[in-house]
């Protein structure tokens, strides 16, 4: 991606502690305008990472929009060890922005008095639900609440008969714009005077000011000359007009527009009607006027109205759906939806900056990052050495502590470290012994380990460091990444050339040569599975013909083996079966428990098939499974129990695994430690660095 020229805020650093929409929308704009935005996130990340459509856990479409042009740093501000990194960040910054209520900000010691003591000329921006002088100051606030409290829902109800919120987070984004211009004004003041300052933008007041501006009407006077509410926009007929084949948006507004409109529609006499003669008269009779237009518009097609009204220079536009916008000729011409290639998310569509500067245009400089992707880089910029960064991580200041790189190969640690590290370190001698004379093959669970989604989705990450760790290990032994995704998808997300990929939980596999293999049918559907499937179908068919969606139960772990052909029927009957027969849970649980040994045996055959396709001798190789999903671990556990393999647990299965890892950073450390161990072994055996291939 070739970055555009830097925007007008080039050189400004923003420390962004905001979450959800309001604050991130503001800092998104600051980033587009060239500011260096450092997004400080808690270990769980911004909740917006998990909202809406997503390809990868923690990288939702909503977050991809708001997270662009920002660097993600994880700091657990509840830990005292995070105070010094935060102080250094503040000292390097021009703007500090958060959206925490006053009491919460004080508890985390990010109140204005603390921050300004660290950086006297800082622009400290806080945005909360309500102004600090009012009784609502400590209440939580969300967009729906503010739309309702400000009067918007009631205004919609006055028109439609039913109060409702607008179908967009209007209060959040509007207040975000208020916050953006307030920060820009404070920076301008600092540029002229050298003075920083504190500013506060409350949602309730900001959106009320935005909404009531035109709705003040009679309440602008004291005593009032009438109620609040702008009649034109509250007219029931103020809506897209129905045409002969659809809808059109037309708005004659001034005297000239209306005279031309009456001529176009063949009703020139209406121009002389006293009710519509001028702006004041039309305002008093707006419902009658709009009702007449409403009656006229169905007489022509949408295309005919667009042509006729455009020719008369009367404001008109087609009524688009959100989907229509992507094919709009004007938006296409101005490049409204540029496409970019994201390193982990593939091809993405974004929004252009909707303002134009002749000299400092701003734009898209930096992809939205995985959670904590820039933590180490930013800490290094602040003067932290690698050992100090590792210490912060071990203390939990930058997220969960885990095994650092090299801990497995170099287990010399002090007592305090030993108490904080998982049990994998206690079994190093056993680990080395089992490697002796055997060729390791590493199977990595992409969905639950490289980007865990089962127990702790806040830890999801697959950045450059993890990719480098996997690639380094692949130079020393065969590595396969297993995913529930299809082959093409997981290959695109991981993007390494010398490893194997196993898609659909191992039912398809391909190597570096790109040749794909599908699990043989003899393994996919053994007789015992077919018999169990028939029994299950029979049991469910006997209950009013209802089928249950297997994915919601432990049957799900064998879904592809058992009921592939019946998926549409199963999916269609989920709620009916559960609602009518809640006791199905126990019945299915018992059946699956009894079937598990047979199913695990079958999965074991699938693993051996994968190893054969990787060119491995099952008796000479040592498969090492790193994952958190019992679905896949069943097969590997069978191998581990008979001494043929090793399980390394990730967050979701710390109790079942023989070795335990805490989070993706620990997985990185484990992979690097294993690579170091293999190099040491090869050097001892051959007197030179080891090599490996897939």
- Which pLDDT tens digit goes with each residue over 513-542? 788 887 665 554 444 444 544 555 555 454
Q: Tell me which residue of 493, 496, 500 sits closest to 343, measured CA to CA.
A: 493
Most confident range, picked from 57-66, 112-121, 517-526, 671-680 = 112-121
**Would you give the distance in Å from CA 21 to the centre of its chain?**
12
Lowest mean pLDDT of 186-195, 226-235, 377-386, 584-593, name the range.
584-593
Token pair, residue 461, equals: 């990450």
pLDDT score, position 310: 96
Tell me whether residue 183 is exposed, middle or buried, using C-beta atoms within 10 angstroms of its C-beta: 0 to 12, 13 to 18, 19 or more.
buried
Higher pLDDT, 225 or 648: 225
pLDDT score, position 600: 41
Lowest mean pLDDT of 179-188, 212-221, 325-334, name the range.
212-221
pLDDT score, position 124: 98
Number of H helices, E strands in the chain: 29, 19
User: Which helix H or strand E contains 509, and what residues bound it?
Assistant: strand 508-510
- Sign of CA pseudo-dihedral 278, 281, 287, 292: negative
What's the full length of the chain, in residues? 694
Lowest mean pLDDT of 18-22, 355-359, 421-425, name the range.
421-425
State how beta strands 646-649 and 659-660 pair.
Answer: parallel
pLDDT score, position 690: 35
Mean pLDDT value of segment 600-604: 47
CB 247 within 8 A of CB 302: yes
For residues 475 and 621, give the distance between their C-alpha atoms in angstroms, rounded to a whole number.
16
State how beta strands 95-98 and 123-128 pair.
Answer: parallel
Token pair, residue 605, equals: 């055959």
Residue with tokens 């294993």: 674
pLDDT classification of 472: cutoffs 50, 70, 90 = confident
Helix (H, G, I), strand (E, B) or coil at 624: strand
Most confident range, picked from 327-336, 473-482, 628-637, 650-659 = 327-336
Q: Is the pLDDT of residue 691 over 60?
A: no
CB atoms within 10 A of CB 130: 20
Homologous superfamily (CATH) for 404-511+614-686 = HAD superfamily/HAD-like (3.40.50.1000)
Higher pLDDT, 288 or 462: 288
User: Which helix H or strand E contains 529, and what residues bound it?
Assistant: helix 527-541
State how beta strands 439-445 and 479-482 pair.
Answer: parallel
Lowest mean pLDDT of 150-159, 204-213, 428-437, 632-641, name the range.
632-641
Q: Calculate helix-pair angle for 527-541, 584-613, nearest 10 degrees.
A: 160
| Cα 280–Cα 282–Cα 285 angle in degrees, nearest 5 | 115
pLDDT classification of 664: cutoffs 50, 70, 90 = low
pLDDT score, position 507: 63
Most confident range, picked from 269-278, 529-538, 558-567 = 269-278
Q: What contacts 655, CB < 8 A, 6 or more positions away?
A: 649
Mean pLDDT value of segment 665-676: 70
Q: Calculate helix-pair angle for 143-150, 170-193, nearest 10 degrees.
A: 90
Most confident range, picked from 179-183, 282-286, 569-573 = 179-183
Q: Would you state the torsion angle of the CA atoms of residues 383, 387, 391, 394, taken in this order, to the nearest 10 degrees?
A: 130
Q: Is the pLDDT of residue 2 over 50?
A: yes
| Cα 306–Cα 307–Cα 309 angle in degrees, nearest 5 | 65
pLDDT score, position 481: 86
Q: Would you state the torsion angle of the CA atoms of residues 304, 306, 307, 313, taken in this order, to the nearest 10 degrees?
A: 140
% of the chain beyond a pLDDT of 70: 69
Q: Considering the candidates 16, 143, 172, 376, report the single residue annotated as catalytic.
A: 172
For residues 460 and 448, give the distance between their C-alpha atoms in angstroms, rounded to a whole number.
9
Lowest mean pLDDT of 339-353, 560-574, 586-600, name the range.
560-574
Q: Is the pLDDT of residue 116 over 90?
A: yes
Q: Is the pLDDT of residue 456 over 80?
A: no
pLDDT score, position 504: 65
pTM: 0.61
pLDDT classification of 493: cutoffs 50, 70, 90 = confident
Q: Calculate helix-pair angle for 203-215, 170-193, nearest 10 degrees.
A: 110
Please indicate whether residue 172 is annotated as part of the active site.
yes
For the domain covering 13-142+170-216+339-375, report its CATH number.
Answer: 3.40.50.10540
pLDDT averaged over the chain? 77
Annotated domain spans of the chain: 13-142+170-216+339-375, 241-318, 404-511+614-686, 530-600
Half-sphere exposure of 66 (CA within 13 A, CB side): 27
pLDDT score, position 320: 94
pLDDT score, position 617: 66
Q: Is the pLDDT of residue 379 over 90?
A: yes
Q: Is the pLDDT of residue 424 over 60?
A: no
Q: Do domains 241-318 and 404-511+614-686 have the same CATH topology?
A: no
Token pair, residue 169, equals: 């987070």
Give me the phi and psi of 488, to 5 degrees please.
Answer: -60, -40
Q: Would you state the torsion angle of the CA atoms of residues 621, 626, 627, 631, taken in this order, to the nearest 10 degrees?
A: 10
Q: Is the pLDDT of residue 108 over 80?
A: yes
Lowest mean pLDDT of 450-464, 518-532, 558-572, name the range.
558-572
Cis ω before 525 (30° cut-off from 0) = no
pLDDT classification of 148: cutoffs 50, 70, 90 = very high
Give me the phi and psi of 400, to 5 degrees please.
Answer: -70, 140
What is the fold of 241-318?
Answer: formyl-coa transferase, domain 3 (3.30.1540)
Q: Calculate helix-pair angle for 584-613, 630-641, nearest 10 degrees.
A: 60
């Amino acid at each position: 991606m070739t970055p555009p020229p830097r925007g007008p805020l080039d050189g400004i650093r923003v420390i962004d502690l905001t979450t959800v929409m309001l604050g991130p929308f503001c800092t998104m704009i600051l980033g587009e305008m060239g500011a260096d935005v450092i997004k400080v996130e808690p270990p769980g990340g911004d909740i917006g990472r998990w909202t809406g459509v997503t390809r990868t856990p923690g990288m939702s479409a909503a977050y991809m929009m708001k997270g662009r042009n920002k660097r993600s740093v994880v700091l657990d501000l509840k830990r005292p060890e995070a105070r010094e990194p935060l102080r250094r960040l503040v000292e390097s910054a021009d703007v500090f922005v958060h959206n925490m209520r006053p009491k919460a900000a004080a508890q985390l010691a990010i109140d204005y008095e603390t921050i300004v003591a660290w950086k006297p000329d800082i622009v400290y921006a806080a945005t909360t639900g309500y102004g600090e002088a009012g009784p609502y100051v400590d209440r939580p606030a969300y967009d729906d609440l503010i739309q309702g409290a400000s009067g918007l829902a009631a205004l919609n109800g006055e028109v439609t008969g039913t109060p409702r919120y607008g179908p967009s987070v209007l209060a959040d984004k509007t207040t975000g714009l208020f916050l953006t211009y307030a920060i820009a004004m404070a920076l301008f003041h600092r540029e002229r005077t050298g003075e920083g300052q504190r500013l506060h933008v409350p949602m309730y007041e900001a959106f009320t000011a935005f909404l009531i501006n035109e709705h003040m009407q009679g309440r602008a006077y004291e005593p009032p000359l009438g109620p609040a509410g702008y009649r034109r926009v509250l007219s029931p007929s103020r809506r897209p007009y129905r045409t002969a084949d659809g809808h059109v948006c037309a708005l004659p507004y001034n005297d000239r527009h209306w005279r031309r409109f009456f001529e176009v529609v063949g009703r020139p006499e209406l121009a002389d009607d006293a009710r519509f003669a001028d702006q004041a008269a039309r305002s008093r009779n707006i419902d009658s006027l709009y009702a007449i237009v409403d009656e006229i518009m169905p007489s022509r097609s949408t295309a005919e109205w667009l042509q006729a009204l455009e020719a008369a220079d009367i404001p008109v536009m087609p009524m688009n759906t959100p989907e229509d916008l992507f094919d709009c000729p004007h938006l296409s011409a101005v490049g409204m939806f540029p496409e970019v290639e994201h390193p982990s998310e593939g091809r993405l569509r974004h929004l252009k900056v909707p303002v134009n500067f002749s000299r400092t245009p701003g734009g898209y400089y930096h992809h939205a990052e995985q959670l904590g992707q820039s933590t180490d880089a930013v800490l290094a910029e602040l003067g932290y050495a690698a050992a100090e960064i590792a210490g912060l991580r071990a203390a939990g200041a930058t997220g969960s502590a885990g095994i650092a790189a090299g801990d497995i190969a170099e287990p010399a640690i002090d007592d305090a470290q030993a108490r904080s590290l998982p049990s994998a370190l206690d079994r190093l001698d056993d680990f080395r012994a089992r490697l002796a004379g055997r060729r390791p093959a590493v199977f990595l669970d992409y969905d639950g380990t490289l980007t865990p989604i089962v127990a702790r989705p806040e830890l999801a990450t697959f950045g450059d460091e993890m990719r480098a760790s996997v690639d380094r290990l692949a130079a020393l032994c065969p590595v396969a990444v297993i995913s529930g995704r299809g082959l093409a998808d997981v290959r695109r997300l991981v993007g390494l050339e010398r490893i194997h990929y196993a898609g659909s939980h191992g039912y398809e596999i391909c190597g570096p040569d790109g040749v794909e293999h599908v699990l043989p049918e003899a393994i996919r559907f053994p007789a015992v599975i077919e018999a169990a499937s028939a029994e299950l179908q029979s049991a469910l068919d006997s209950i009013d013909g209802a089928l249950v969606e297997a994915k919601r139960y432990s049957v799900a772990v064998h879904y592809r083996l058992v009921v592939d052909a019946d998926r549409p029927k199963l999916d269609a009957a989920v709620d009916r079966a559960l609602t009518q027969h809640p006791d199905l849970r126990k019945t299915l649980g018992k059946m699956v428990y009894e079937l598990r040994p047979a199913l695990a045996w079958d999965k074991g055959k699938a693993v051996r098939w994968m190893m054969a396709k990787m060119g491995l001798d099952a008796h000479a190789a040592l498969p090492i499974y790193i994952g958190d999903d019992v679905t896949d671990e069943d097969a590997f556990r069978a191998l581990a129990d008979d001494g043929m393999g090793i399980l390394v647990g990730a967050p979701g299965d710390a109790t079942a695994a023989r070795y335990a890892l805490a989070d993706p950073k620990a997985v990185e450390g484990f992979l690097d430690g294993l690579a170091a161990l293999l190099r040491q072994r090869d050097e001892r055996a051959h007197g030179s660095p080891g090599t490996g291939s897939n």
